[in-house]
Amino acid sequence: MSSELPVLDRSVLMESLGNDKELIKEILELFKDTTPEIVENLDNAANEGNIEEVKRNAHSLKGSAGNIGAKALEESMRNIEAACAKNELEGIRNKVSGAIGEYNLLKSELDSQ
């Protein structure tokens, strides 16, 4: 896991949305609503050895994570994309497993708000 990176850097959303607390709340709710399916698809694709599908889901989640300031998850997705580019299936599976841990930390933080 990317423990040196913050699970959630709220300043990213505050800067991009002009500190609009209601809009920030809506964006975070949208992330919480849409991300579980992407994470599930990512995990399933890794388990099935479908590197293209892993890459597609990692790319999508990287963007979403970056948009809300989920730095550790965003970095995990970058690492998965790099492993996909090298066709390292075992590395991909390990990285996806670690990324799911990052996602669960983020989910816990978002759920506690």
Residue-wise pLDDT for 22-73, tens only, equals: 999 999 999 999 999 999 999 999 999 999 999 999 999 999 999 999 999 9
Q: What is the pLDDT of residue 3?
A: 52
Q: What is the pLDDT of residue 25?
A: 92
- pLDDT band at 2; cut points 50, 70, 90: very low
pLDDT averaged over the chain? 93
Whether the predicted pLDDT of 1 surpasses 60: no
Instruction: Return the number of other C-beta atoms located less than 10 Å from residue 85's C-beta.
Output: 10
- Cβ burial of 106 (10 Å; 0-12, 13-18, 19+) is buried
- pLDDT band at 17; cut points 50, 70, 90: confident
Q: What is the pLDDT of residue 19?
A: 84
- Asked if residues 26 and 7 have their Cβ atoms less than 8 Å apart, the reply is no
Domain 10-111 belongs to what topology?
Four Helix Bundle (Hemerythrin (Met), subunit A) (1.20.120)
Could you tell me the pTM of the whole model? 0.91
Percent of all residues in the chain with a pLDDT value above 90, rounded to a whole number: 82
Percent of all residues in the chain with a pLDDT value above 70, rounded to a whole number: 97
